Structure 1
Amino acid sequence: MASVGLGGLQYFAAVSGNLAIVSDGMHYGWPSPTLPQILNNKNSTLCISSQEGALMAVMPLLGAVIGAISAANIVDYFGRKKTIILTSLPFFFAWLMVAFATSALHLHIARFIAGVADGVTFTVVPMYIGEIAEPRVRGLLGSSCSVSWIFGFLLINLIGSYLSIKTTALVSSSICILAFVTFIFMPESPYYLLMRNQTEKAKKSLRRFRAHADIEDEITKMQIAIQTSDKVRGNFFDLFRIPSNRKAIIIVAGLRGFQQFSGTTAITFYAQEIFKQAGSHVSAKEASIIYFAVMLVMTMLSSSIVDKAGRRPLLLISMTGSIVALFIEGTYFYLENKTSVDVSNVEYIPVAGLLMFVIFFSIGMQSIPICLLGELFPTSVKAYALCMADVYYSLVATIASKFLQVMMDTYGIHMAFYGFTICSVAGLIFIVFVVPETKGKSLEEIQYYLKGERPEKYHIEMQTIKINGEKEREELLENV
């Protein structure tokens, strides 16, 4: 591994770490091919009601709250590497429970356990990748978390649509084993090692990630980031007490909230049910597989261009297209279910509308909010920040999913899509006025921006650290 050139190990580490997120995505996406098989199916031993199905779908979100809170305390104790390795175990046992489940209760427990692992995974993996990636590729590697999650959705829809529930679960458990075996060989985050005052180990780790010996400048930047924090290990209240952290919270909470209230997670939970209601000539199984395949391809495209195009332009394009697609979708279902208008000649619109939604949504809103999670918070509070972000995500995704189910059952699916449209319009306004551009900036430069300080001050700090003279530092700062 140490011989990998041009910093290639950071790519391998990201791929290996993201296997945990692939498994997570498979757990989240599992209801899409499975619910139609067991929902009100009296011939199945796993027959469940609509209410039980709704609870089963969102159970991982509830478990994620506990997982995220736990992660905030263990990720700085055990380290990023050990924490990622440990997440493989609950994912694996959850699949075994699904494979041998004989009641809805067993499924609820299994998915709750997977949710706990999810809370840990989405706290530590973006953190680890953000800390090991060079600025020139941090957008690409940070966005890979979303790519991996969506790949998990696609994979479980492919497997689950054509295999039995038991076989699907057993096959899926192999991803957990692969994640465990491969990540053992990855280095620990140099940021974490510096937090533990293990400077030589941090340098050794960074050399492996960068594949060259000249890492002194980068190590110095990391030390500045840690030493200039109020404390090497902050506390939860620093997220709200320090103005730059509050600004980061507003950005992340807004993006993640509008991301979920555009309906993305709710739609993925009920993808096959939505396509079944649409009555298209394309089968629900085929349509959902196409949906997740397009989502995967477009998110991969977004990840490959985010470091060149920038975060803000992609977010603006993404949200604008999503608004149009959601409005079209809602209007079709309104005309079909609430009017006498004949829509038999345009039955392709629901599938085309959702594909349009997933194309535009995946360009920016799918991956960039997660990428920003690893960029906006300083090391001293990053564990708490990602924990809170995951808890927050779980809550808003649960509300959005419940909103879709209640609207479908009570008022009609068109009302759900109109609601998602209105939220997306609000999200577009938020992006325009609040979300900053972080393209090409180091993690340290981003902190200077959030503090409202000029870029020149950051470069002066770097110069004076090298000069290592307090007098020179004061003179330079006075001239800015």
Structure 2
Amino acid sequence: MIASYLLGWFLPYRYIIWVNLAVCLTYASLMMTVTETPIYLLRMNRLEDATRAIAYYRGVSISSKVVLDELSKLKQQINVAVELLPTVISPSTRRAMIIVALLIGLQNTMGGNAVQVYAKEVFRQSAPKLSSNLCSVLLAVVILLGNIMSGVLSDRLGRRFLLMTSCLGSLVCLVVMGVQVQISFAPAWLSAVLCLCYNFIFSAGAGTVPFLLIAEVFIPEVQSLAAMIQIISMWLSSFVLLYIFPFMVKFLGMYGTYYVFAVASVACFLVSYFLVPETKGLSNAQIQLEFLRSRKKSRKNISPGLDGIPGRVWVLAIKELEPQVLSLMTNCLVQGRVPRRWKTGKLVLLRKAGKPEDQPSAYRPIVLLDEICKVLERILAARLSKHLENVGPNLSENHRGKTYHEAVVRATAGVAQIVRQIRGLGLTGPGTLHHPDWR
């Protein structure tokens, strides 16, 4: 970015086009020397090439255990049929898709990319007495420093805290910049300084953390698809904003455009505070549980069990009742039993749409348990999942997964594989399972 801004300062546009073309050709030439990814080779049924690619990237021999284990994992991932992805994607993955898409959309609406692309025009209108070319080069340096700062602080402060802090800092800078451009209460150089500060704060958090989340929050089986969708949404939203940015400046003025960006900063902060879980130091399975937990927090008004106490009441009362609840659950774990009442639920019949009410098949029965019982179940499930992931035992390769969502994904992939085998044998219709070829 620094080099491109320097070229824009000293060279005419026609020379910049030739320089960019040379860079593109160099990039394409270097890409031709890169070894193809193992996942692509496996999807093309090029098993030997995939094995050599894994050995190349791992820096080990083809026959090593590392290569064989990696190859086995990749085979399991690509077994998920594309047509079954809507059923494979877990609730935590759907929630992660929505939250990350919101962050990326709001990130673009905060104006960081627009300011970078239209840097010269922004500085010309915000600080007309200063050299816009010099300010643009300083902007590139500041953005680079912000990205470096993001890499340093994301593992120390956490992704969520860094994201929220960046949104608040960007909000302050944008509001002050808007007021300064509107009424000019300070020297012109203050606008340039504020613009540089805004881009530094934006790059240190809101401009980088969403892309870090893309790499962390999705299960391996849908990682590539989810990343592709998010990147496409990022470019689409960026294109829309860059297209309308000149019209925003024309009809709202530069100060009005800053105020719009400030509103987007507030929205991004609210999404980060209420929806984004902290992922620092967590495994993929733990991140999935965090997204499920945040999902259930937004559903505190679900129907209660026999005790009639909804989850919302427990959330409000837990500060006062925490010692008693902890003591009760500890006794349950020590004694290996739970109160008899917790084993009893309330039967509720849910009416199915479009079916006559006098038919038994028109109703789906569910049993509502007490919320306190479900809390203990979640604690046990989380501990067992963490134990299996970090300690063991060494599970069989045929085991469907250490966590619930991994088990669902791999079980569905197994069904998809069986369906493909049946189609490959031409075995469809009645009596398929009794056909001698299928047996």
Q: TM-score range by the shorter chain?
A: 0.5 to 0.7
Between the aligned partners of 2:114 and 2:170, the Cα distance in structure 1 is 15
Return the letter of the residue paired with 1:457.
S
Q: Which amino acid aligns with 2:272?
A: I
Deviation digits for residues 396-433 of structure 1 (CA, Å, limit 9, x no counterpart): 22443355322321232111111111110111111112
- Mapped partners of 1:171, 1:183: distance in 2: 18
Residue deviations 1:71-101 (CA, integer Å, cap 9, x gap): xxxxxxxxxxxxxxxxxxxxxxxxxxxxxxx
Match of 2:115 in 1: 267
The answer to whether the Cα contact below 8 Å between 1:190 and 1:203 also exists between their aligned partners in 2 is: yes
Cα gap change, 1:332 to 1:319, in 2 (>3 Å): same
**Bigger Rg over Cα:** 2
Aligned to 1:410: 251
1:296 aligns with 2:144: yes
Q: 1:169 to 1:472 in 2, by over 3 A?
A: closer
- Structure 1 counterpart of 2:36: 188
Q: Does 1:174 align with 2:22?
A: yes
Counterpart secondary structure, 1:412: helix
> 2:57 and 2:157 mapped to 1: Cα distance?
25
What's the CA shift for 1:202? 4.3
Give the 3-state SS of the residue equivalent to 1:348 in structure 2.
Answer: helix
Q: Whole-Å Cα distance in 1 between the matches of residues 288 and 34 of structure 2?
A: 28
Cα drift, residue 328 of structure 1:
0.9
Matching residue's letter, 1:435:
V
TM-score (norm 2): 0.61
Q: 1:163 to 1:294 in 2, by over 3 A?
A: same
Structure 1 stretches of 5 or more lacking a match? Answer: 1-150, 337-342, 475-480
Please list, as runs of the form range in 1=range in 2, the aligned pairs for 1:348-367 lying within 5 A after superposition: 348-367=189-208
Asked if 1 retains the 8 angstrom alpha-carbon contact of 2:55 and 2:67, the reply is no
Deviates more, 1:203-212 or 1:357-366: 203-212
CA shift for structure 1 position 315: 1.3
Change (3 A) 1:204 1:471: closer
Question: Which shows bigger deviation, 391-400 or 269-278?
Answer: 391-400
1:46-83 residue CA offsets vs partner (Å, 9 max, x unmatched) = xxxxxxxxxxxxxxxxxxxxxxxxxxxxxxxxxxxxxx
Q: Distance in 2 between matches of 1:246 and 1:432?
A: 19
Cα distance in 2 between the residues matched to 1:228 and 1:455: 26
Q: 248, 251, 276: which is aligned to 2:99? A: 251
2:76 to 222, 227, 243: 227
Q: Which has the higher contact order (CA 8 A, sep 6+)?
A: 1
Structure 1 partner of 2:269: 428
* Equivalent residue, structure 2, for 1:69: none
1:459 positional shift: 5.6
1:313 shift after superposition: 2.6
Q: Matches of 1:215 and 1:247 in 2, distance apart? A: 38
Partner of 1:328: 176
Compared with structure 1, are the counterparts of its residues 469 and 461 closer, same or farther at alpha carbon in structure 2 (3 Å cutoff)? farther
- Structure 2 unaligned residues grouped into runs of 5+: 294-380, 404-439
The alignment's C-alpha RMSD in Å is: 3.6
Distance 1:185 1:305, change over 3 A: farther
Residues 114-263 of structure 1 mapped to structure 2, 5 A cutoff: 151=1, 154-195=2-43, 201-212=49-60, 216=65, 220=69, 223-224=72-73, 227=76, 231-235=79-83, 238=86, 242-263=90-111
CA contact (8 A) 2:54 2:70 kept: no
Structure 1 residue 370 corresponds to structure 2 residue 211: yes
Query: Equivalents in 1 of 2:179, 2:34: separation in Å?
Result: 50
Q: For residue 249 of structure 1, what is the amino acid of its counterpart? A: M
Deviation at 1:168, TM superposition (A): 0.9
Q: Percent identity?
A: 26
**Aligned residue pairs, count:** 315
Residue number in structure 2 paired with 1:390: 231
State whether residues 310 and 438 of structure 1, in contact with CA within 8 Å, keep that contact through their aligned partners in structure 2: yes
Question: For 2:82, what is the secondary structure of its paired residue?
Answer: coil
| More helix, by proportion | 1
On the 8 A contact 1:225/1:379 being kept in 2, the answer is no
Aligned residue for 2:35, secondary structure, equals: coil
Q: Which residue of 2 aligns with 1:318?
A: 166
Question: Deviation digits for residues 204-256 of structure 1, max 9, x if unmatched?
Answer: 43443343569746864774576378x52434962996423211211211110
TM-score (norm 1): 0.57
Distance change >3 Å, CA 279–CA 315, structure 1 → 2: closer
Query: Could you tell me how far apart the structure 1 residues matched to 2:229 and 2:401 are?
Result: 40
